[in-house]
Amino acid sequence: MDTRTLVVVLAAAVFGALAWRWLRAGHYRRDDEGGPLPRHLWVPALAPFVGLVLERGLGGHSWPVLLPPLTLAAAGLVLAAIDADVHRLPNAITLPLVPLQAALLTLASTLTGDWDALQRAAIAALLVGGGTVLLAFILFGRSIGMGDAKLMVSIAPTLAWLGWSQLAVGIWLGFVIGGIAALALLLMRKASRTTQLAFGPYLVAGAVLALALA
């Protein structure tokens, strides 16, 4: 394992441990969101692996290019845990993530000189991210949730910076994984056609897989 891979894995492990402690405190829950608090043990267990696959998948790119996907994956792990518990993606994470990703992607283009990539990212944020938010607003309660749509505003440009194919694959994988999970729950009779499923974890999983394959 080379030095960069080791640094990424160790940093991801530390983040996973800190995220787990925060999640176990239940600070993300509202007053009306009761019930047993999940142990969230999969977050610290999965974090180093996610860091490893992203670093390996983007091994040919420099640190500035690697930082936006790592940041998205880190936030995505926390959001997936929250969404799986309370079926909600808090604005306290999804909204600041948008300008943070924009700043990191701009920095990546500045340091690499790849301004075409930043242009792709901006178009994706506007058309894909903005279009998803508009769809969630118009079809409120009948399509993708607003929290998921806000998350897409960060996912779309991060994937598109690397290429249109990564964007298409990431979105496709998110819906495929979500569809398979929904079908499995229906077959096991743990959900019905009217059940509101947590879609955030599947969007995150599709994005991470697309980045790992980049």
> Which tens digit of pLDDT belongs to each residue from 134-181?
988 887 766 678 888 999 999 999 999 999 999 999 999 998 998 888
pLDDT value at 184 more than 70: yes
CB 118 within 8 A of CB 105: yes
Residues in CB range of 11: below 8 A, 6 or more apart: 51
Q: What is the pLDDT of residue 190?
A: 67
Short-list 159, 14, 36, CA closest to 86: 36
pLDDT at 63: 92
Residue whose C-alpha is closest to residue 210's, from 58, 18, 5, 32: 58
Which residue in the block uniquely carries the two structure tokens 């880190």?
A: 74
What pTM was estimated for this model as a whole?
A: 0.91
* pLDDT more than 90, % of the chain: 67
Domain count, the chain: 1
Read off the pLDDT band of 199 (50, 70, 90): confident
**Residue-range definition of the domain harbouring residue 24:** 3-29+38-212
Which of 26-40, 56-70, 96-110 has the highest average model confidence (pLDDT)? 96-110
Give Cα 30 to chain centroid, integer Å. Answer: 22
- In the chain, % of residues over pLDDT 70: 93
Q: Which two tokens stand for residue 145?
A: 């949730």
Look at residue 186 in the predicted model and tell me its pLDDT.
79
Q: What is the pLDDT of residues 81-116, one digit of tens each?
A: 998 888 889 999 999 999 999 999 999 999 999 999
